[in-house]
Structure 1
Amino acid sequence: MTTTARRVFFREHGRPVTVDLAEVDNQRTSFEGGFVYRGQIMMESLPHRIREQANNFRIDVWAVGQSGRSEWLVLNDNALFVGNVHTIYVRFLAHH
């Protein structure tokens, strides 16, 4: 799979959030000075602009916590909550 350069910005609860549509090495345990967490996300939880790119793919979301703190990506069926997280990496994996 090739890595895209597309980056999408949106706001969650009035706060800017960066979503990077890039493949992330699933063996990495740290990224940009923080910790990387992996989580599954439902298609409906993504902003519409990302959903348009995600048809026929499985989505993994990686959240990078700030300052080495253990910040977790919290998901529900309707929204994406990021807590104290400055970047979310979204990777699209083709269904097999």
Structure 2
Amino acid sequence: MAGRNDPNGPNRDIRDDFRAEIREFLGTRRARVTPEQAGLPLYGGERRRVTGLRREEVALLAGISSEYYTRLERGNATGVSESVIEGIA
């Protein structure tokens, strides 16, 4: 019988869906903003692999570490404070 703490329990699908939504939302929003639009210098010039902001650039603008932003973009949003959400917004 699947309990609340069972990794295969009924809440697993909901959490996976939530994480997927976070990943998609943050990734697509990051891709829409260029460094110039965000007031950042363009590092890498023609060799830049992403059209939008890099994760490190979003983290810099939000005032958080790039490792923390990467965790958020991977869908691990447990315990995120309101100030972090405002910074990313």
Q: What TM-score bracket applies, with the shorter chain setting the length?
A: under 0.3
Larger radius of gyration: 2
Task: Give the TM-score of the pair, scaled to structure 1.
Answer: 0.25
TM-score if structure 2 supplies the norm length? Answer: 0.26
